[in-house]
């Protein structure tokens, strides 16, 4: 779904303002946000940017807990089985919430066991290569892959995440055969890109923005339908010669199913206020992230739209992870 269409869907759904009501006594202790990926990656950067301000608004500290593994499923299971009282939340991705249930056996069902609170940020990935590689465009990379099928390698931060889906889509739409390498987080992908162990990646912007800006990695394209306003001079993959290419992503907060609606609403409103903070916005933008607060209902609509978008693609590609 193109970025503008996705934003329009959310904007048209419901007004952002919500009553900051909650059950008496909430929150009465620190709130834990569980992240399914390693420290230093995009998800971790996002929650550590808005978490402290959100905690100030709620009157309790926000504790970030990294529980990487299984494409975010370990963290998702921990939150799904936590008490439904608003004190344990998940920072989920399209990969964990939408794609994983389609491609693998799951210990929990996110649609059944979690409930939407708010989308947090919209992000874009960047197709990057090490500076010692000769490719200056998507066309160069595709030509090199066609010249030596099955030899170029690319990294991604987990099966089913937007970097993984972007790499698979480039294979399909570009007509190339490559080797995908799965890592536990975006920071590890960036490390191996910088050392030249892998040839390219649709890396999450927060994990490579600094390296791109300092000239340590070369940005070839962004995978979204439109150029990013944060990197306006970097073309899209479609502009680079692979028409129809469009992969976008967001990170969002979910709570265990059964969390009382007033608590969910208060959490959503606290996120909206935190993401409106100028300092928080500046930190997110520096890392290639844009605030995208929603109501629970708006988030639910976006969640369903992504499921509808990816289900036929996953089915036609017969993508399964045992």
Q: At what angle do helices 278-286 and 42-58 cross, to 10 degrees?
A: 170
* Domain boundaries along the sequence of the chain: 3-122+249-317, 125-221
Q: How far apart are CA 225 and CA 268, in angstroms?
A: 28
The closest of 280, 252, 261 to 18, measured between CA atoms, is 261
* 187-245 per-position pLDDT tens digit: 899 999 999 999 999 998 888 988 999 999 999 999 998 998 888 999 999 999 999 99
The CATH architecture to which 3-122+249-317 belongs is 3-Layer(aba) Sandwich (3.40)
Is 256 a residue whose pLDDT tops 50?
yes
* Same CATH fold assignment for domains 3-122+249-317 and 125-221: yes
Two structure tokens written together for 37: 């990926």
Beta strands in the chain (DSSP E): 31-35, 62-66, 88-93, 114-123, 125-130, 153-156, 179-182, 200-204, 217-221, 249-256, 289-291
What is the CATH number that goes with domain 125-221?
3.40.190.10
Band of residue 164 on the pLDDT scale cut at 50, 70, 90: confident
Two structure tokens written together for 88: 């344990």
Q: In whole numbers, what is the pLDDT of the chain averaged over residues? A: 89
* 259-293 per-position pLDDT tens digit: 999 999 999 999 999 999 999 999 999 888 899 99
* 36-87 per-position pLDDT tens digit: 988 888 889 999 999 999 999 999 999 999 999 888 899 999 999 999 999 9
pTM value is 0.76
């Amino acid at each position: 779904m193109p970025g503008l269409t996705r934003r329009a869907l959310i904007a048209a759904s419901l007004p952002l303002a919500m009553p900051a009501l909650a059950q008496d006594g909430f929150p009465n202790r620190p709130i834990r946000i569980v992240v399914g990926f390693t420290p230093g990656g995009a998800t971790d950067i996002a929650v550590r940017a808005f978490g402290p301000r959100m905690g100030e608004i709620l009157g309790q500290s926000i504790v970030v807990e990294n529980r990487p593994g299984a494409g975010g499923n370990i963290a998702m299971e921990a939150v799904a089985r936590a008490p439904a009282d608003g004190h344990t939340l998940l920072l989920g991705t399209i990969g964990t919430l939408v794609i994983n249930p389609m491609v693998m056996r799951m210990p929990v069902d996110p649609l059944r066991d979690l409930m939407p609170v708010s989308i947090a940020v919209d992000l874009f990935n960047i197709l990057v290569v090490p500076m010692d590689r000769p490719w200056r465009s998507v066309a160069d990379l595709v030509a090199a892959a066609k010249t030596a099928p099955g030899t170029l390698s690319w990294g991604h931060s987990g099966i089913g995440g937007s970097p993984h889906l972007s790499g698979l889509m480039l294979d399909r739409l570009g007509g190339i055969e490559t080797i995908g390498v799965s890592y536990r987080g975006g920071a590890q992908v960036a490390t191996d890109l910088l050392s030249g162990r892998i040839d390219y990646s649709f890396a999450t912007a927060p994990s490579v923005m600094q390296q791109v800006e300092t000239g340590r990695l070369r940005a070839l394209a962004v995978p979204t339908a439109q150029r990013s306003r944060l990197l306006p001079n970097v073309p899209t993959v479609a502009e680079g010669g692979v028409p129809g290419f469009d992969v976008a992503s967001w990170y969002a907060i979910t709570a265990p199913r059964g969390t009382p609606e007033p608590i969910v609403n208060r959490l959503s409103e606290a996120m909206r206020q935190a993401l409106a903070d100028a300092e928080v916005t500046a930190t997110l933008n520096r890392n290639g992230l844009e605030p995208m607060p929603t109501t629970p209902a708006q988030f639910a609509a976006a969640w369903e739209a992504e499921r509808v978008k990816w289900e036929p693609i996953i089915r036609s590609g017969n993508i399964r992870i045992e």
